[in-house]
Amino acid sequence: MDEVIDSHCHLDFKHFDKDREGVMERARASGVVMMINSGVDLPTNRKTLALARKHDFIRPTLGLSPNGIEKMGNRDLEEVVSFIRENAGEIVGVGEAGLDTYRCKDPGMRKKQVEYFQRMIDLSRELDLPLVIHARDTEQQVFEMVKDLEKVVFHCYSGSLATMKQILDRGFYVSIATIISRSTQHQGLARQCPLDQLLIETDSPFLSPRKGRNEPSFVLDSVKLISRLKGVTPAEVASATTRNVRKIYGL
Identity of residue 221:
D
Distances (CA, A) of 63 to 15, 38, 121, 233: 20, 7, 10, 34
| Cα angle: 205, vertex 209, 213; to 5 degrees | 30
Q: pTM of the entire structure?
A: 0.97
Identify the CATH number of the domain in which residue 108 sits.
Answer: 3.20.20.140
| Cα angle: 35, vertex 99, 57; to 5 degrees | 10
Could you tell me the residue range of the domain that residue 211 belongs to?
4-249
Q: Which element (helix H / strand E) includes 201? A: strand 198-201
The answer to whether residues 143 and 163 touch, using CB atoms and an 8 Å cutoff, is: yes
Q: What is the pLDDT along the chain (251 residues), one digit of tens a residue?
A: 679 999 999 999 999 999 999 999 999 999 999 999 999 999 999 999 999 999 999 999 999 999 999 999 999 999 999 999 999 999 999 999 999 999 899 999 999 999 999 999 999 999 999 999 999 999 999 999 999 999 999 999 999 999 999 999 999 999 999 999 999 999 999 999 999 999 999 999 999 999 999 999 999 999 999 999 999 999 999 999 999 999 999 99
Measured distance CA(187)–CA(155) in Å, rounded: 15
Q: Is 110 exposed, middle or buried (0-12, 13-18, 19+ CB in 10 A)?
A: middle
The answer to whether residues 151 and 131 touch, using CB atoms and an 8 Å cutoff, is: yes
Q: Domain count of the chain?
A: 1
